[in-house]
Amino acid sequence: MRKFKKFRVTIFILIFLLTLSSIAIFSMLISSNMKSLATKKAYEDITYNDNALRDQIDQYMLNVESLVSQMANSSAVINEDYGEVDRMSQTLINNFPLISQLFITDTIGMQIYKSSFTETLGDRSDRDYFQQAVSGKAVFSDVIISRSTNDPTVVHAQPVYRNGKIDGVIGVSINLKLLSNLTLLSYAPTDSKAYGYIVDSTGLIISHPNPDFVNQSLDLAYLSPVASVMTGQTGTGIYIFQKTEKLVAFTPSMVTNWGVLYQIPKDEAFNTVYIINNLLIINMIFVIFGALFATIMITRFLEKPIKKITHLISNIADKKEIDNNYQISYNEFGFIESELISMYVKIKKTQNSLEEKVKERTEELTVTMNKLVKTQKELISANKKLRGLALTDSLTGLPNRRSFDEYFKRFWNISKRNHIPGAILMIDIDYFKDFNDYHGHVAGDHCLKTISKKLSELLFRESDYLSRFGGEEFMILLNNVDYSKAEKKASMLVKEIHEMNYPHGGRQDTPVVSISIGVLCINDWDSHNREECLAKVDKIMYQAKEQGRNRYVIE
């Protein structure tokens, strides 16, 4: 009877321990599943918010594109009724504050209308958005610095069609301050530190809740999520910005070439996960202590080894160091103790190795990325300086022959495509060799710089182009001028240079420096080519010299 009672107590204790273990395992599975669901929910939420922000931005940009298209196709723009255009543009800006300014250019980039009357009209031919729009594309630009306000902005531009042909470009500037307000989603919690921002195709910030980042056009191309979205990728990740670890989702815009990112501090994103972790730890502590308490109630011969193993498990679970002098039991439980210690040593060794490798690799990647970004910036800066030096005459500061050849090609193609009349003027300083022989080359260089400066001052239109062609020769390209206007310009240049009364001294019959000009007017571009025209205007210029110099000959 005593033996049966002892057996019954033993069975009761075993059932109790088995039940306790089942509860512990079940609790761990539930906690682990909750943690997994909470982590998945955090990624789903930030992806949803990023897509929502992207859709919101795209909708606004589609509205901008639609409004600009309506303006481009309006009778006021097509018929060049700029009084009505101004009324429509002011109404558009007042009713749609995301648009801060509207402008219209001709086919060579000269502005012919701007909604801001306080600002002067300028040349936008070198802008990438103009070059794409005049070729027939509707385009949203990357970040550019406005020549009117010196502030960063982005532009949407479209071609203007008249009689079935592209006859100009219409564009609008986007209000970056208002665009930045959109990056704070209205349904995000008020106490949340989450926000979105937009970058262009080169990684420069377009909009951001921090206005300083927008005003500085902050370059974030070195950040991995920005680099990914610049290549058209969509995804999520974790990165560090301003010493804060952040969870981020990124996706490219479907309307523009921009990237939209939405981020939230990692601690805030995974707050629920951290709570579950804490609950899991608390739960495990209660389970362990419950098991220890139940184990104490088992028969005395099981008490010590089980207590010893439980203590070892507790140390491993709490990531505590195991005493090197730990004595393994000489019984069946000793095998369990030995395996636990061996497993702990392997896991710790592997974990330390992985942490060290990850740290080293992260540091290497950071250093490499910083070097690449710095090298790229240095190369871009050097290329810009080299190109500027290659296209500028070092003596006069005017565009040189190479620059002239590139500009003349564009000038020719645009004039031919749009049937715009123009004129080519070749200018030569009379008896310049005699001037050099008499005064010397230093004085000759001073004369060249003085004449080039005077010629620049006499060209009143931004579209008029002046370059040093070689030696004492200069070239002028005039667009949209007829025969009488070209002749008037040539006559004025000859007269003004002569009336400078710049002493010549090299010849008795030439008291002051003068110029001879050959003028070639072109109406039918299809019947000429560039090389023939250059040769022809050279011959016309020599006719002016043969007729006595200090004059022009026009054809």
pLDDT tens for residues 162-171? 999 999 999 9
Q: Residue 160: name the closest of 99, 90, 77, 261 by CA.
A: 77
Q: Which residue has the tokens 């931004």?
A: 462
Sheet containing 235-241, strands listed edge to edge, beginning at the edge strand earlier in sequence: 205-207, 195-199, 259-265, 244-252, 235-241
- Looking at the fold, whether 424 and 277 belong to one and the same domain comes out as no
**What is the model's pLDDT at position 183?**
73
* Coil vs helix vs strand at 110: strand
> Is the pLDDT score of 300 beyond 60?
no
Domain CATH code at residue 289: 3.30.450.20
Domain CATH code at residue 429: 3.30.70.270
> Tokens for 235?
């995804």
**What is the model's pLDDT at position 72?**
94
pLDDT class for 103, splitting at 50, 70, 90? very high
Task: Indicate whether 339 belongs to any domain.
Answer: no
Domain that holds residue 73: 1-298
- Looking at the fold, whether 34 and 154 belong to one and the same domain comes out as yes
CA distance 110 to 104: 8
Task: Indicate whether 384 belongs to any domain.
Answer: no
Select from 298, 313, 331 the last residue of a domain. 298
CA angle at residue 536 from 535 to 539, to 5 degrees?
A: 90
For the segment 226-252, what is each residue's pLDDT rounded down to a tens digit? 999 999 999 999 999 888 999 999 999
Task: Indicate whether 330 belongs to any domain.
Answer: no
> Is the pLDDT score of 123 beyond 70?
yes
Select from 298, 332, 367 the last residue of a domain. 298
Task: Indicate whether 450 belongs to any domain.
Answer: yes
Q: What is the mean pLDDT of residues 346-366?
A: 76
pLDDT class for 192, splitting at 50, 70, 90? confident
> Is the pLDDT score of 301 beyond 60?
no
> Is the pLDDT score of 372 beyond 60?
no
Select from 279, 298, 317 the last residue of a domain. 298
Number of compact structural domains in the chain: 2
**What is the model's pLDDT at position 189?**
59
**What is the model's pLDDT at position 3?**
46
Q: What is the mean pLDDT of residues 170-175?
A: 94
> Is the pLDDT score of 460 beyond 90?
no
> Is the pLDDT score of 60 beyond 80?
yes
CA distance 424 to 543: 15
Task: Indicate whether 309 belongs to any domain.
Answer: no
Q: What is the mean pLDDT of residues 10-23?
A: 65
For the segment 507-544, what is each residue's pLDDT rounded down to a tens digit? 888 899 999 999 999 998 888 889 999 999 999 999 99
Task: Indicate whether 383 belongs to any domain.
Answer: no
Task: Indicate whether 390 belongs to any domain.
Answer: no
Task: Indicate whether 392 belongs to any domain.
Answer: no
pTM for this entry: 0.48
